[in-house]
Amino acid sequence: MIEPDALAARLPRDFTIGVAMAATQIEGAVTEGGRGRSTWDTFAAQPGRIIDGTTPEITDDHFHRYREDVALMRELGVDAYRFSIAWPRIQPEGRGAANSAGIAFYDRLLDELLEAGISPVATLFHWDVPEPLQRAGGWMTRDTASRLADFAALAADAFGDRIDKWITLNEPTTVTLNGYALGIHAPGESLLFDALTTVHNQLLGHGLSVQALRARGVKGQVGVTNVHSPVVAAQRGFMNAQFAKVFDLVHNRIYADPVLLGRYPRFPLLARKEFRALRETDPADMAIIHQPLDFYGLNYYMPTRIAVGAPTEASTPDGDAEAMRDLPFHLAEWPEYPKTGFGWPISPEYLTASLRDYAARYGGSLPPVYITEGGASFADVVDSEGRVDDASRVSYLADHIAAALDASDEVDLRGYFVWTLLDNWEWAAGLTQRFGLVHVDFDSLVRTPKSSFRWLQRVQSSRKR
């Protein structure tokens, strides 16, 4: 195990250590202050969609307890807090003027953060499409990109003087794959490759939002976040390599290449038909998508191993997806690695490899990088003395932060945000996966810092600044 002071000694003086959370997963109060419904409220209300039947209605009740939560961040000693601004709180109908009660909530949160000396990092789109926009087609519709840019402009006007970093989109990959291709996240569509239309529309939303933020003169830096999963073929052979390549394109390249290089990658002959939605886009859109960025956000959780053949089980890292059965390849196991509570392989070396891969592929086109999420779920319990000993999370975080630093000879790495501060509502997994540095009792909503919280606190207090 890496001791806190040993890790602290490796952190550059201005390296950002932060925590990340997202509105739907923590805020609750879904009908308060004029908040509109989001696609996730609707999805969670459908029987069988969420593993434990829970909804975003209460989660951590952060909307009312944000002061207590910022106090925890202050005690932890983090440099920054990455949160998301709930789109349906600001625009209940997904269009039109800003809802003043929604703005007021984030004003209060920002005041609290600045008072605590914590740098605010805001994500605009962390999956909560306002329900009226979802009914009009959501990300299958080009108009949603313009609607996101309008939301960005409202947020810029309201908070542009206080937010240090803006992230336009969080994990467009997950929205496309889980939400539109496999049907395991909202809005629950199982379109397989036809879902790729949502890639272009999200990227357009990113580009238009960057333009909107800059046109409004925000003081903060502007970037985007995707989740990167390095992809390897399970076995040798042409078809294994081809399917691994297709998955790498679908998961990683079709987002990063347009944003960083201004073009979609070359699509293999084998899957040219499947990628048609991206081959036939208007070249003028690429100029909008390819905006200069101040930083690039990379979320890293695990690598992916691809094998030829339809899956015998329809399981994905985020749940079972029947639509997977129609594919000619499947996600193979990683028996050699320990697993998180979600069953995800724990392999920090692939984080180093991902960063080196970014350096090699994007070279001078890659701006400074932040790991905008990294963390693990485990079945944490409060013991009879009121303690939560999550030694596995301590090792996970220590090893992954160290692994990220290992690549800093090749990548201008500026920070690492732990996912996440509080145990929270993990989308289709409901309240069953605990990722927090702080345990939350979902009945009483009592927060109990785990041993990982104390460990990170020691890392931060041992740093030379």
Does 373 bind ligand IFM (CB under 6 A)? Our answer is yes
Does 173 bind ligand IFM (CB under 6 A)? Our answer is no
Residue 273 beta carbon to ligand IFM: minimum distance, rounded to whole angstroms: 30
Report how far residue 456's alpha carbon sits from residue 452's, in angstroms, rounded to the nearest whole number: 6
Q: Which is nearer to ligand IFM, 63 or 243 (CB)?
A: 63
Strand partners, 330: 307
Closest Cα partner for 198 from 39, 354, 89, 51?
A: 39
Q: Which is nearer to ligand IFM, 4 or 130 (CB)?
A: 130
Residue 405 beta carbon to ligand IFM: minimum distance, rounded to whole angstroms: 21
User: What pairing do the DSSP bridges indicate for beta strands 447-449 and 221-227?
Assistant: unpaired
Residue 416 beta carbon to ligand IFM: minimum distance, rounded to whole angstroms: 14
Q: Which is nearer to ligand IFM, 92 or 375 (CB)?
A: 375
Report how far residue 445's alpha carbon sits from residue 425's, in angstroms, rounded to the nearest whole number: 13
Q: Which one of 259, 426, 450, 456 is in contact with ligand IFM (CB under 6 A)?
A: 426
> What are the φ and ψ backbone dihedral angles of 414, each rounded to 5 degrees?
-110, -10
Report how far residue 186's alpha carbon sits from residue 166's, in angstroms, rounded to the nearest whole number: 24
Report how far residue 29's alpha carbon sits from residue 61's, in angstroms, rounded to the nearest whole number: 7
Residue 21 beta carbon to ligand IFM: minimum distance, rounded to whole angstroms: 8
Q: Which one of 61, 131, 171, 189 is in contact with ligand IFM (CB under 6 A)?
A: 171
Which residue is nearest to ligand IFM, using beta carbons?
A: 22
Residue 161 beta carbon to ligand IFM: minimum distance, rounded to whole angstroms: 27
Residue 215 beta carbon to ligand IFM: minimum distance, rounded to whole angstroms: 28
Residue 227 beta carbon to ligand IFM: minimum distance, rounded to whole angstroms: 6
Sketch the per residue contact string, 221 through 260, with ligand IFM: x for CB under 6 A, - otherwise: ------x---------------------------------
Residue 174 beta carbon to ligand IFM: minimum distance, rounded to whole angstroms: 6
Kindly identify the residues of this chain, within the stretch 22-61, that bind ligand IFM according to CB under 6 A: 22, 25
Q: Which is nearer to ligand IFM, 144 or 420 (CB)?
A: 420
Residue 271 beta carbon to ligand IFM: minimum distance, rounded to whole angstroms: 26
Does 128 bind ligand IFM (CB under 6 A)? Our answer is no
State the catalytic residues: 171, 373
Report how far residue 417's alpha carbon sits from residue 374's, in angstroms, rounded to the nearest whole number: 7
Sketch the per residue contact string, 309 through 338, with ligand IFM: x for CB under 6 A, - otherwise: ------------------------------
CB 428 within 8 Å of CB 422: no
Closest Cα partner for 89 from 43, 11, 127, 33?
A: 33
Q: Which is nearer to ligand IFM, 252 or 281 (CB)?
A: 252
Report how far residue 45's alpha carbon sits from residue 231's, in angstroms, rounded to the nearest whole number: 34
Report how far residue 321's alpha carbon sits from residue 179's, in angstroms, rounded to the nearest whole number: 11
Does 144 bind ligand IFM (CB under 6 A)? Our answer is no
Q: Kindly list the distances between the CA atom of residue 397 and the CA atoms of 160, 191, 390, 394, 437, in Å, as whole numbers in the listed order.
A: 32, 35, 11, 5, 10
CB 179 within 8 Å of CB 120: no
Does 406 bind ligand IFM (CB under 6 A)? Our answer is no
Q: Which is nearer to ligand IFM, 233 or 298 (CB)?
A: 298
Report how far residue 257's alpha carbon sits from residue 260's, in angstroms, rounded to the nearest whole number: 5
Q: Which is nearer to ligand IFM, 113 or 227 (CB)?
A: 227
Q: Which is nearer to ligand IFM, 309 or 317 (CB)?
A: 317
Q: How many residues bind ligand IFM (CB under 6 A)?
A: 8
Q: Which is nearer to ligand IFM, 29 or 422 (CB)?
A: 422
Report how far residue 465's alpha carbon sits from residue 108's, in angstroms, rounded to the nearest whole number: 29
Does 419 bind ligand IFM (CB under 6 A)? Our answer is yes
Does 299 bind ligand IFM (CB under 6 A)? Our answer is yes
* Site residues for ligand IFM per CB under 6 A: 22, 25, 171, 227, 299, 373, 419, 426
